[in-house]
Amino acid sequence: MSEFVAKADGSNWESEVLKSTGLVMVDFWAVWCGPCQMVAPIVDELAKEYQGKLKVMKLNTDDAPEVAGQYQIMSIPSIVFFRGGQVVEKIVGARPKQQFKQVIDGLLAQSATA
């Protein structure tokens, strides 16, 4: 995890994700998941690029299965975007960085006009 990515778990989920005012991107992952390892450096790059515009967190599904279950995370990696405590977008599986950027840019544009 980079300095721009925070760890999410059951203890800080509500304060860091649900009560956050801006856009929050949560990477649901696990150590044993190959595609999760492929996405990890992309998540770190996005966190750095969108610093100040987007909060980026990683949640290890093995450490916090109750949180993953709450959002019906059946496949990982799952990248879930939250705004105002609500899920606004979900990307399942490894994707190229550009695809993540399109989603993030679209969500940031929505919040600018909202």
Active-site position among 5, 26, 36, 56: 36
Whether 36 is catalytic is: yes
Task: Exactly one of 26, 33, 67, 80 is catalytic; name it.
Answer: 33
49 to 2, 14, 54, 65, 112: CA distances (angstroms): 12, 25, 9, 29, 18
Angle at the Cα of 33 from the Cα atoms of 96 and 12, rounded to 5 degrees: 90
Question: Among this protein's residues, is 33 annotated catalytic?
Answer: yes
3-state secondary structure at position 1: coil
Catalytic residue positions, numbered: 33, 36
